[in-house]
Structure 1
Amino acid sequence: MNNRTKKFFSFYKPYMGLFLLDMFCAFIVAGITLVNPLIIRYITNTVLPDYNSNDAVTIIARLGLIMLGLAVIQFVCNYFVTYKGHMMGAYMEYDMRNELFEHYQKLSFNFYDNQKTGQLMSRITNDLFDITELCHHGPEDVVISFIKITGAFVILLNVNPWLTLVVFAFIPIMVLFAMFIRKKMHAAFKRNRERVAEINAQVEDNLSGIRVVKSFANEELEIEHFKMGNDRFVNSKRSSYLNMANFHAGLGFFISLLNIAVIIGGAAFISKDTINMADLITFLLYINNLIEPVQKLINFTEQFQNGITGFNRFMDILEIEPDIIDSKGAIELVNPKGDIEFSDVAFKYQDTINEVFRNINLKVKAGEYMALVGSSGVGKTTMCSLIPRFYETTSGEIKIDGINIRDIQLKSLRKNIGVVQQDVYLFAGTVIDNIRYGKLEATREQVIEAAKNANAHDFIMELPDGYDTYIGQRGIKLSGGQKQRLSIARVFLKDPSILIFDEATSALDNESEKIVQESLEKLAKNRTTFVIAHRLTTIRNAKHIIVLTEDGIKEQGTHEELLKKGGIYSKLYTMTK
């Protein structure tokens, strides 16, 4: 048993009692189905010919009561299987979804840089639903089918061995046929999963950028792109349905042959007085009973292909080990001063050859205001992203208060670092929920105080419901400056020792920039602060400015000192004035 198989069965463990009871009920349902034709055979073969009318009616009435009792038991068992069995599958899906979502939270930026959000969403929704159907219906369908087929074989063997052998000669042929088609179906269903994930990713990408689409009047282009993806999906469906049609039609044909064989063979045996009409009726009843388990096996094959394909996609993600984790013996970072040191730091992205930058050597004292400039693409944002370990250094080390950040617990490291980005992300919800994201246990008074510090309180109070106003997906109901001030309030509430401002005002108009800049300066007071600057006029008062290139730090000093050098900074400043 390989690791994936063990993992699959491990999800049954918490619900083993429910699973066994479900299987027991399925066993009872299958058993009752086998008993009813025997009662009919007994009535036609024994009761009607051998008993007088009064006795026959009495026996038939008793048998009727027995069949009624069996019907009630079958009803209860079917109810349990349908309700509780499905709930067991839902619980297992719940566990899988939780585990997958928790794993998503552990994976680093490197993983998300190479993934499409829609495909990740598909793995946690569509794929897991198919796994649930397999977890519940799979074992149940196999058990019922096995009992019915085996039971029917044993019973019919006692009725007439030769006709039984004729009937069951078709079963191995059906199995071989199913095995032949199964491999093709597996490949087709896997392609379906990939196509559905691609469509999800395309829809997510389009809807997230719908304002860009409309601003460029490119609706027709997007429709055409979607049509191409949808065409690929239809083509993959065509292949899977072709194999499914072969499967269903082929097995349906075998079932028709089975009925023909029983009728012709039974008639021949009756003509030779080998069996009687009651036995032939019994055979036909069991043939009808055999159709259902064959159909269940068909369904199981489809469920198996869908479920296993989904489970393999589930495990593909789960088996990706987080590349940034706590080291053994990692310590908690408590109330750091904020001294930061880069020593020979270099970085390159996974699957790339060239380094983004190298030879970064830098010491930043606690409370210092550090501005980081350089041409586009030299890695300013990436360099700052190394401090909270959003990415891992390729070589060299970074220390906070003399402690290597790899020796600090990730959670406590990131709790002590506040990031204000140019592209603000606000969650769908209220104003107070978004600010409180910086400190989940914060009181309303603390949230309001943070908003005041971020110059956000006044505009919040003008909203329809104040702090309880719903701001829409990504804060779509707010202006850029308002969103930025909410993100700053969030960091005020977090109260970190180290700050990173990633071009936080570059996308704002002059009026909003001035308000936000005041908030940022208030936030930066007495904190170690890294400012990634797009407009160099906003960092003229910085006591320490460094100029970053692919080869490391080329210049550093104050605004005036760097201008006097007439080097890279001077050229950048002249270009952005």
Structure 2
Amino acid sequence: MGLVSKQKYSKRNHRPYPLYRLLEYTRQYRGQIWLASLYSVLNKVFDLAPPALIGIAVDVVVNQQDSIIARWGVQDVYAQFIVLSILTVILWIFESLFEYAHSRQWRNLAQTIQHDLRLDTYQHLQELELAYFEERSTGGLMSILSDDINQLERFLDIGANDLIQVTTTVVVIAGAFFIMAPSVAWMAMLPMPFILWGSVAFQRLLAPRYADVREKVGFLNSRLSNNLSGMLTIKSFVAEDYEAQRVQEESHAYRQSNRKAIALSAAFVPLIRMIILAGFIALLLYGGLAAVQGTITVGTYSVLVFLIQRLLWPLTRLGETFDQYQRAMASTSRVMNLLDTPVAIHTGNVSLRVEKVRGEIELHHVTFAYNNGHDPVIENLSLSVPAGKTVAIVGSTGSGKSTLVKLLLRLYEVQSGSITLDGIELRDLRFDDLRRAIGLVSQDVFLFHGTVAENIAYGSFDATPAEIVHAATIAEAHEFIMQLPQDYDTIVGERGQKLSGGQRQRIAIARAVLKNPPILILDEATSAVDNETEAAIQRSLEKITMNRTTIAIAHRLSTVRNADCIYVMEYGKLVEKGTHEQLVAQQGIYASLWRVQSGLTVASG
């Protein structure tokens, strides 16, 4: 399903029935679904034909020259059996062909829907604001993207075909019964209302239980994802037994939730079998008496006995099919609820070519609180970043420095006030244009599992090897990269775990250099590195900040003392501004922080 179609779908009202919502989503596959359903119906029709051939064979044995085939002009008994054999071969060939056709069609359709649904869900996730991810676990989202969508695919693989073929069986055999022996047809149909009623009742009882199962597996996946990401912490605090116990608790809860669902679903088949037995015995008894009395022929009786087995016994599989169906619908609800999640921050419609960006940023009376709370993280903040200048923002932990970065990238939306870039409101700009104009080097560097070269070229995917090497050289990363086992082709590991913090930081700087944005944001870029690495990073930053608008968020004041202007924040408010020398002379908050970090306070004491 295309992204446009998905966006249209996600704007619709919430639908209470998962199947209805799934059918709406799969509307564009309707032609393929009809074709797969046709193959399923034809396969079942040809599959139900052999009992009729058995009845004809019995008729040939009993009536010989007066048999049904004899009425077609074939009098010789041997020739009649030859005709019967040819018909059998033809029916089996067509049954096998449509078996192959419906199996291939349903499976390919299941794979296509699974593929498109996963992509649509992931694309929609990417459109959601950062707060959505901060309030939810990665494991829970992974459970929806992987396990829930796979559960739906498993149902489309088998369950949809089973439901269609059971329905076809009921219609075809019921019609045959009323045509061949209307006097005993009611006996075969007698169990049907009870079976259907039982199926609906079980479906309603199973729905909340399987919803609980999907919720529990989400919790379990969240725990496992968290623990795998935090393995270093687990080992360093000798918490293996503690975490194993927590995983055991989540897994036990999942198992108990499944047990409750299984206890109910497992009871379906035995109960249905008892109902089916009543219909089978009734036909066996009264149909047999009718054949003895001559009301129906022996051949017809034979066909009826075989047909009622083909009608009633497959209904026992409804338990398994409904089990698959309920699991799939529980998963569908979770997936569709995610697709229905509204996008809180929308892109603007003003285009801005990156090469035309001057980089002048203005904040006018900006106020922001997380979750629209009453305690602002940033309150009535106004500041100016001139084009091509380096501005530093400093302050104690929790003063709102990093939040400001998220607002500049529009990862969050301001509650009041405005932020402009070159005089244009950020909310009016297209996301792509705004974020291409900004290069972010964060203290929390994220490297993807892949090569060093791939991570440097991330976001600049068409970069040449020479450009990658040039960017690494400017970032003073080339030397250590060449000492790696496969230099630029070395795999860095998940989150870059095979590299040191300083190496990861320099690769992040090389990534920003290669992007060559008109605006550079350094968010505590040297806070987690040693002095030698900091010196190397500072040398590279001096090169890449020239003639470029730079915003340096810093806790370590020595890294920003040469900034054109330093803003000091405290509790989300701007309390001081000026150059390093001016702020030291003011003897305010900045001067106090400078004395502590430079050791002057200790020395004077």
The answer to whether 1:372 aligns with 2:383 is no
The answer to whether the 8 A contact 2:393-2:401 is kept is yes
Gaps of 5+ in 1: none
Question: The residue matched to 2:267 in structure 1 has which SS?
Answer: helix
Change in 2 beyond 3 A, CA 1:10/1:174: closer
Aligned with 2:528 (options 507, 524, 542): 507
The answer to whether 1:235 aligns with 2:256 is yes
Question: The residue matched to 2:41 in structure 1 has which SS?
Answer: helix
Cα distance in 1 for partners of 2:444, 2:14 equals 41
* Alignment partner, residue 498 of structure 2: 477
What RMSD in Å do the two structures reach over aligned CA positions? 2.3
The answer to whether the 8 A contact 2:273-2:316 is kept is no
**What is the Cα deviation at residue 231 of structure 1?**
1.2
**What is the Cα deviation at residue 317 of structure 1?**
1.3
**What is the Cα deviation at residue 226 of structure 1?**
0.7
Q: Percent identity?
A: 32
Cα distance in 2 for partners of 1:125, 1:551 equals 40
**What is the Cα deviation at residue 308 of structure 1?**
2.1
* Alignment partner, residue 118 of structure 1: 139
Give the residue type in structure 1 aligned to 2:532.
E
Cα distance in 1 for partners of 2:597, 2:178 equals 93
Aligned with 2:517 (options 496, 514, 519): 496
Cα distance in 2 for partners of 1:60, 1:566 equals 112
The answer to whether the 8 A contact 1:330-1:406 is kept is no
Aligned with 2:239 (options 176, 196, 218): 218
Question: The residue matched to 2:370 in structure 1 has which SS?
Answer: coil
Give the residue type in structure 1 aligned to 2:63.
P
Change in 2 beyond 3 A, CA 1:222/1:139: closer
Question: The residue matched to 2:535 in structure 1 has which SS?
Answer: helix
Aligned with 1:408 (options 401, 417, 429): 429
The answer to whether the 8 A contact 2:54-2:302 is kept is no
The answer to whether the 8 A contact 1:166-1:261 is kept is yes
Give the residue type in structure 2 aligned to 1:436.
A
Gaps of 5+ in 2: 1-11, 68-74, 599-605
Change in 2 beyond 3 A, CA 1:551/1:381: closer
Change in 2 beyond 3 A, CA 1:29/1:98: same
Q: CA deviation digits over 1:171-192, x for unaligned, max 9?
A: 1011111111111211111111
**What is the Cα deviation at residue 127 of structure 1?**
1.4
Question: The residue matched to 2:577 in structure 1 has which SS?
Answer: strand
Cα distance in 2 for partners of 1:70, 1:273 equals 30
Give the residue type in structure 2 aligned to 1:30.
K
* Alignment partner, residue 105 of structure 2: 84
Aligned with 2:22 (options 8, 26, 29): 8
Aligned with 2:54 (options 22, 40, 55): 40
Moved more, 349-358 or 271-280: 271-280
Aligned residues: 577
The answer to whether 1:261 aligns with 2:274 is no
Give the alignment of 1:496-535 within 5 angstroms: 496-535=517-556
Cα distance in 2 for partners of 1:408, 1:333 equals 12
Give the residue type in structure 2 aligned to 1:314.
V
**What is the Cα deviation at residue 256 of structure 1?**
3.0
* Alignment partner, residue 49 of structure 1: 63
Give the residue type in structure 2 aligned to 1:151.
V
Aligned with 1:19 (options 22, 33, 45): 33
Give the alignment of 1:358-369 within 5 angstroms: 358-369=379-390
Give the residue type in structure 2 aligned to 1:542.
A
Q: Tell me the TM-score normalised to structure 2 length.
A: 0.90
The answer to whether the 8 A contact 1:11-1:92 is kept is no
The answer to whether the 8 A contact 1:195-1:229 is kept is yes
* Alignment partner, residue 288 of structure 1: 309
Give the residue type in structure 2 aligned to 1:506.
S
The answer to whether the 8 A contact 1:357-1:549 is kept is no
The answer to whether 1:29 aligns with 2:50 is no
Change in 2 beyond 3 A, CA 1:385/1:368: same
The answer to whether 1:74 aligns with 2:88 is no
Cα distance in 1 for partners of 2:87, 2:291 equals 31
Change in 2 beyond 3 A, CA 1:574/1:246: farther
Cα distance in 1 for partners of 2:95, 2:25 equals 28
The answer to whether the 8 A contact 2:364-2:383 is kept is yes
**What is the Cα deviation at residue 74 of structure 1?**
0.9
Cα distance in 2 for partners of 1:499, 1:491 equals 8
The answer to whether the 8 A contact 2:363-2:420 is kept is yes
Q: Tell me the TM-score normalised to structure 1 length.
A: 0.94
Give the residue type in structure 2 aligned to 1:50.
Q
Cα distance in 1 for partners of 2:313, 2:548 equals 72
Cα distance in 1 for partners of 2:259, 2:156 equals 27
Give the residue type in structure 2 aligned to 1:182.
Q
* Alignment partner, residue 151 of structure 2: 130
* Alignment partner, residue 385 of structure 1: 406
Cα distance in 1 for partners of 2:309, 2:353 equals 69
**What is the Cα deviation at residue 565 of structure 1?**
2.7
Give the residue type in structure 2 aligned to 1:571.
S
The answer to whether the 8 A contact 1:109-1:390 is kept is yes
